Structure 1
Amino acid sequence: MSTPTVLDATAMLRGAGLRVTNTRVAVIETLQDMPHSGVDALVPRVELRVPTTSRQAVYNALGDLVGAGLVRRIEPAGHPGLYELRVGDNHHHIVCQRCGAVADVECVTGHAPCLTPGDTGGFDLAEAEVTFWGVCADCTATSTATASAAVPAATH
């Protein structure tokens, strides 16, 4: 099992030409701990690191980070926007239809754009964004346990 790399948020911001602010650093550090998080989950965690920040400051930081290519925003159908630090590698996502958990899925064919439509309409394809849907292992285990518990015991 490998240890996750600790990101240098300050270096990331400077490398992207962004001003280093406490909120931006806290958003990056929080996303490292909580990939695929929405604003509702991020704000309280960022506030723990920067008590003087605001919800609007977190939104602004996310917008700046997405604009600079440091953060990716994904929008699974029926879910609020989610953010992650993993950018530029053409990976996809799988979403649990029960609990909404999101996980990364590597490119399905190994090279961009992963899928090729029959007609590109004149577009030069760069990548495909694929979202797989299913039931996560935790929800499957819960369903199996619930179903087993619901089976009535034989009467004598």
Structure 2
Amino acid sequence: MQQSPGHPSHDDDWAQTLRAKGLRATAQRMAVLEFLHHHPHTDAEAIFQAVRCSLPTISLQAVHLIVLDLSGKGLIRRISLPDSASARYETRIEDNHHHIQCIRCGRIEDVDCIVGHAPCLEPHDNHGMRIIEASIVFRGVCQSCDAEFEEKDEHL
């Protein structure tokens, strides 16, 4: 499992991080942060399904509000992927990285920026804007899906 640079990995640190951003350290927020820390690239529905085991009174709406608050305060990163109706979230925010997604199974992995600082790319014309981020999603087919496809192809 990949650790998020500069981010805590237990409750006391998450509580301190939340308070430093002006948010109360509620059990719900801390559960969402801890889950995302160990399960990056997860959407709100999957977060809800996972944390409601330990917090049975939490609602899907509450999870949506929590990820909105956490991303707004810069504690998590919101990822919008092509062909995906729902945003994904992760706690790896301290660096400038991108993502690669398998178009068959949907698996998402981090891809480090080759330059190392934001933004990794400079547009030809910035239209007078100061660029702070370049968001790139590489799309392909993972080895598992490729092997499965080849197996099916052999049986035809």
Give the TM-score, by structure 2 length: 0.87
**SS of 2:42's equivalent?**
coil
Q: State the distance in 2 between where 1:25 and 1:129 align.
A: 27
1:70 aligns with 2:95: no
1:125 aligns with 2:131: yes
Correspondence for 2:87: 81
Give the TM-score, by structure 1 length: 0.87
Pairing 1:3-152 to 2, within 5 Å after superposition: 4=3, 6-7=9-10, 8-79=13-84, 80-148=86-154, 150=155
Deviation at 1:66, TM superposition (A): 0.5
Cα pair 2:76 2:91 within 8 Å, conserved: yes
Deviation at 1:146, TM superposition (A): 2.4
Q: State the distance in 1 between where 2:144 and 2:18 align.
A: 36
Q: Where in structure 1 are there 5+ consecutive unaligned residues?
A: 152-156
1:45–1:107 distance in 2 versus 1, CA, 3 Å = same
Partner AA of 2:118 in structure 1: A
Provide Cα deviations, 1:19-62, integer angstroms capped at 9, x if missing partner.
Answer: 01111011011112211001121111010121111111111111
Partner AA of 2:62 in structure 1: A
- Consecutive aligned runs of 4 or more in structure 1 exceeding 3 Å deviation: 2-5
Which is further off, 120-129 or 78-87? 120-129
Partner AA of 1:40 in structure 2: E
Higher relative contact order (CA 8 A, sep 6+): 2
Correspondence for 1:154: none
Q: CA RMSD in A?
A: 1.8
Deviation at 1:3, TM superposition (A): 8.1
Identical pairs, percent: 42
